[in-house]
Structure 1
Amino acid sequence: MSHVAFVSHGGGPMPLLGDPSHAELVSTLKALPQQFPKQPSVIIMISAHWETSGFEITAAENPDLIYDYYGFPDESYQFQYPALGAPKLARDIADKMEAKGTHIRLNEKRGFDHGMFIPLMLMYPEANVPVVQISLASSLSPDQHWMLGEQLAEALPKDALVIGSGFSFHNMRAFFAPKTPQVKHDVHAFQTWLDETVTSSHLDLNEAKQRWLHWSEVEGGRFCHPREEHLIPLIVCHALAQKQGRSIAFSALGVEARHFVW
């Protein structure tokens, strides 16, 4: 069984620029590989920053980095993370998923976005593990992405590490607005709901899936995610892990946030 983690990757390149409001995020990401018994043979990355019509998978030998953030210091556009791709594995995954009824197009040109390289520069700074990145479908459908996770569980090498890269809170306006008692209440309500959904031993997988299908109706849901692309990788990870996980709580940019590990 692959190891699985969902990480909240922070604001653009800020985790690597010494920003004080990212200190806990940085320390928790650096410590995360200790949760896994050995170095993975490959990292399968599902980033909030790549959406396509249907699903795609990177199939380049040496993908470039995509500096998909704006208005940061020059050094932010000079980061290097020379991880290799794994085109043969990408084709194998695509073939296995096709057999299960999910089409994943090979993309031999796309590089790695900051949802990939920012957390991995902290978790695996040596860049010595090959990486394959899978897109989100632009539908952002919880049901479609839960099915993706379920099917991927049987299509990956046993010693793969799957990382969903998003943010458990992603309301850009609220990040930089006053953290009023109402804001803190709404954030806490949803982070608590996430903890229950992903970690409660009283829920079976089908009950967890049903909760995900209605996430936007729960208290704080739409406030925390006006648009859900940073939440969807967590749904993929939960379905792929096929069990309940553990929560890592921290603060970033002045709000309560989570990583999850299985």
Structure 2
Amino acid sequence: MIPSLFIAHGAPLLAIENNEYTQFLQQLGNTLPRPKAIVIFSAHWESQIQKVSRVDEYETIYDFGGFPDALFQIKYPAKGDEEITKELEELFTSQGVSYEIETKRGLDHGAWGVLRMLYPNADIPVISMSINPHLSPMEQYRVGKSLSELREKDVLIIGSGGTVHNLGALNWEKDGEVDDWALEFDEWLASQLKAWDIEALFNYDSLAPNAQHAVPPYGIEHFVPIFYTMGAAGDHQTAKLLHRSYRYGNLSHSVWKFG
């Protein structure tokens, strides 16, 4: 069965860089079983009601500014999949998850930045999904779990965000070193994920060291996609860290495989 994945999308510049992390993501796309379709929860699409894309072909959204022109030349014209979208709707309905269909929104950089490295030809159908950072972790987990059986049909479920994502704490001149507080948070997280201790994970904000610094209130949307993708593992409650590196002192590039 195809796993679910939590993938850090890093800073927008990652899309035009060649480094340890971009090379890992490119290789990851080559080693995964080729999915029939991809469902992706992006930290850059927030909504109070769960949104589900039903789009024939996505436009590319440039939801950032002040970066090189090369970033704004990138296109990722992925197509949707009406059949998988319908299955997804049926699962949400049967599990009592409220949702709304979105027919116009393109792919933000949290989505295309990751997908373009995994599958550069944009030849795998995509269903883009919003996240709701105001839900409890348990509720986010439940949303993901309601889709777990899609994995049996070779649908890859991805959460795109970042485990340590505090823009105010970044040192853009610092590379190759990691701040102790960020590493301590990620180590605690890794321990709980590998044990699948969801009680501790759901209370990370009070239990994890440096939680308020690693996941500040204004950046919680980057952390919570991990709960959606954990839930998508269903009854296959295993977690494996595939990659972890850091940029700018504490921006975590973590990739977790669930299920």
TM-score over 0.5 for the pair: yes
Q: Which amino acid aligns with 2:8?
A: S
Which one-letter code corresponds to 2:209 in the other structure?
Answer: E
> For 2:59, which of 39, 44, 64 is the aligned residue?
64
- Which residue is 2:4 aligned to? 4
**Tell me, which stretches of 5 or more residues in structure 2 are unaligned?**
none
**Whole-angstrom distance in 2 between the partners of 1:230 and 1:253:** 17
Deviation at 1:15, TM superposition (A): 1.0
Unpaired runs of 5+ residues, structure 1, are none
Separation in 2, partners of 1:259, 1:46? 14
Partner of 2:14: 15
Change (3 A) 1:155 1:17: closer
2-side partners of 1:196 and 1:34: how far apart? 28
Q: Where do 4+ consecutive residues of structure 1 move more than 4 Å?
A: none
Question: Aligned pair 1:243/2:243, yes or no?
Answer: no
In the alignment, structure 1 residue 221 sits paired with structure 2 residue 215? no
**For the residues of structure 2 that align with 1:100 and 1:219, how far apart are their CA atoms?**
34
Question: Secondary structure at 2:146's aligned position in 1?
Answer: helix
Q: Deviations over 1:111-140 (max 9, x none)?
A: 111011111111111111000011112414
Q: Residue type of the partner of 1:4?
A: S
Asked if 1:184 corresponds to 2:179, the answer is: yes
Deviation for aligned residue 1:223:
0.6
Equivalent position SS for 1:161 = strand
Asked if 2 retains the 8 angstrom alpha-carbon contact of 1:59 and 1:91, the reply is no
Structure 2 counterpart of 1:101, from 76, 96, 103: 96
For 1:151 and 1:47, locate their aligned partners in 2 and report how far apart those are by CA, in whole Å: 17
Q: What amino acid does structure 1 have at the position aligned with 2:40? A: M
Q: Which amino acid aligns with 2:3?
A: H
Q: Percent identity?
A: 27
Which range moved further: 248-257 or 156-165?
Answer: 248-257
Name the counterpart of 2:199: 210
Please give the alpha-carbon distance, in whole angstroms, between the structure 2 residues aligned to 1:32 and 1:253. Answer: 23
| Alignment length (residue pairs) | 248
Tell me by how many angstroms 1:161 deviates.
0.8
Matching residue's letter, 2:203? H
The DSSP-based 3-state class of the residue aligned with 2:124 is coil
Q: Over aligned residue pairs, what C-alpha RMSD do you find?
A: 1.9
Find out whether 1:168 has 2:158 as its counterpart.
no
Displacement after TM superposition at 1:70 (Å)? 1.0
Q: Distance in 1 between matches of 2:162 and 2:238?
A: 19
Letter in 2 for 1:229: E
Q: TM-score, normalised by structure 1?
A: 0.88
Residue identity in the other structure for 1:26: T
Query: Which among 209, 223, 234 is matched to residue 231 of structure 1?
Result: 223
Q: Matched residue of 1:154: which SS?
A: helix
| C-alpha contact (below 8 Å) 1:24/1:251 kept by paired residues | no
8 Å CA contact 2:151, 2:157 repeated in 1: no
Report the Cα offset of residue 251 of structure 1.
2.2
**TM-score normalised by structure 2 residue count:** 0.89
Q: Is the 8 A contact 1:83 1:131 kept in 2?
A: yes
Secondary structure of 2:232's aligned partner: helix
Deviations 1:218-237 (A, max 9, x none): 21211111031111111111
Q: Secondary structure at the match of 2:42?
A: strand
Specify the code of the residue in structure 2 equivalent to 1:51.
Answer: E
CA distance in 1, matches of 2:19, 2:232: 29
Work out which of the residue numbers 209, 227, 247 in structure 2 matches 1:252.
247
Find the aligned partners of 1:84 and 1:162 in 2 and give their Cα distance.
16
